């Protein structure tokens, strides 16, 4: 199961998770970052790096943020999917 990014990331978009992702599956939307569910390899490197505790394995997402499972998946289905964020130092 892939990891997802939930509500605590809204308007924060700290990129610490981006810097440690070995497959570059984290993308930047207008108000938050998203993990592409088809690209995530479930390594878990991103989860401990998140300073606002917004990243969860899909199956362990807290009940109040379960809607973010679909939000992460649906973000990549529309006409304007999130883009690749800039890594620190680039």
pLDDT of 36: 95
Please measure the distance between the N-terminal and C-terminal CA atoms of the chain and give it in whole angstroms. 30
For 8, 42, 89, the CA distances from 39, given in Å and listed in that order, are 22, 9, 24
Residue 84's Cα: distance from chain center in Å? Answer: 11
Q: Give per-residue pLDDT as tens, 23-47.
A: 999 999 999 999 999 999 999 999 9
pLDDT of 86: 65
Q: Give per-residue pLDDT as tens, 45-87.
A: 999 999 999 999 999 999 999 999 999 999 999 888 888 776 6
**Domains present along the chain, CATH in parentheses:** 3-74 (3.30.70.20)
């Amino acid at each position: 199961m892939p990891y997802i990014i939930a509500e605590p990331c809204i308007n924060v978009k700290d990129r610490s998770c981006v810097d440690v992702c070995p497959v570059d599956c984290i993308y930047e939307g207008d108000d938050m970052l998203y993990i592409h569910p088809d690209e995530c390899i479930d390594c878990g490197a991103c989860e401990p790096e998140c300073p606002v505790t917004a990243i969860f394995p899909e199956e362990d997402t807290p009940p109040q943020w379960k809607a973010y499972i679909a939000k992460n998946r649906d973000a990549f289905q529309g006409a304007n999917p999130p883009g690749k964020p800039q890594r620190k130092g680039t």
